[in-house]
Amino acid sequence: MLRYSPTPVQEIHDAVFDKAGVRVLVKREDLNHPYVSGNKWWKLKYNFEEARRSGKKTLLTFGGAYSNHIYSTAAAAHELGFESIGIIRGEETLPLNPTLTFAKSQGMQLHYVSRETYRKKEKDQFIEQLHDRFGDFYLIPEGGTNELAVKGVVEFAQTLGNDFDYLCCAVGTGGTLAGLVRGVSKQKFILGVPVLKGAEFLMDTVRSYAGSENANWALNFNHHFGGYAKSNPALDALIKKCYKENNLPLDPVYTAKLAAGVFDLARGGYFKRGSVILLIHTGGLQVNAVI
């Protein structure tokens, strides 16, 4: 079992929230593990248990050069005694960035494929080719999203209690949001902020894992800042502001975009006055080079 440290809930203050008449809290899941932090801990938990149960010694997964999932999977595999292979989208660029440097230091074997080839990552023929090359392995999808990952997030969601009205999280592959939808009271509203441009396809992904009977959720597509891992001076300024004024560290890939969405929506009167908004800090701070 991966190490886990209980995490606090932190209230953040800003004139925007005061004017909107709302309270904003952050569940600091970035503090649950030094390397397998945030939602990745919950998404990987049952996948690693299944890998162990099925007798697998090697894990293989997919991600981009700045993938939190690659980073966390490498660390979890190292801690639990598995070999790991990361199929990385794009060509190798040297020197390696901090994410891939860390993954390699944890023993992960990095294998680079073209973006065209990477798009075949769910095709049986491509998976067979990977087995031919690397032998037997337990496969974890990109971002870790599968039914076992959602099961872990449901478990996490059930620990959150009821002292909030809105639950908000950044969205990459949709598994975390789906688990939150399944795991919290139907009286709550769950809002996801996709960090990808053109992420409307996530509606179907979330619905497939959350169940069509759950309608207490939505996606806001307006805060991707140009696409995955893209930023701008305004996002960098928000990261600095949150750290300076609330001692809240954010990353530019996921959590800062979530925060930007919540600030903008509060400014626009989206949230009901008197409500409590709970943000899930999903980790990813290894890529934060702004503070």
Determine the pLDDT at residue 102: 96
| Same domain, yes or no: 108 and 225 | no
| Same domain, yes or no: 14 and 76 | no
Task: Cite the DSSP H helix spans in 137-217.
Answer: 147-157, 175-183, 202-210
**Which contiguous run of DSSP H or E holds residue 68?**
helix 68-80
In tens, the pLDDT along 196-255 reads 999 999 999 999 999 888 889 999 999 999 998 899 999 999 999 999 999 999 999 999
Determine the pLDDT at residue 287: 59
At which of 102, 123, 144 does a domain end? 144
* Dihedral sign for Cα atoms in the order 124, 125, 128, 130: negative
Q: What is the pTM of this model?
A: 0.93
Q: Is residue 4 in a domain?
A: no
Domain encompassing residue 192 = 9-35+156-287
For range 177-200, the mean pLDDT: 96
Is 234:228 a contact under the CB 8 Å cutoff? no
Determine the pLDDT at residue 291: 45
On the question of pLDDT at 290 being above 70, the answer is no
Mean per-residue pLDDT of the chain: 95
How many whole angstroms separate alpha carbon 225 and alpha carbon 217?
22
Q: Is residue 1 in a domain?
A: no
**Which contiguous run of DSSP H or E holds residue 247?**
none
| Domain tally, the chain | 2
For range 93-115, the mean pLDDT: 96
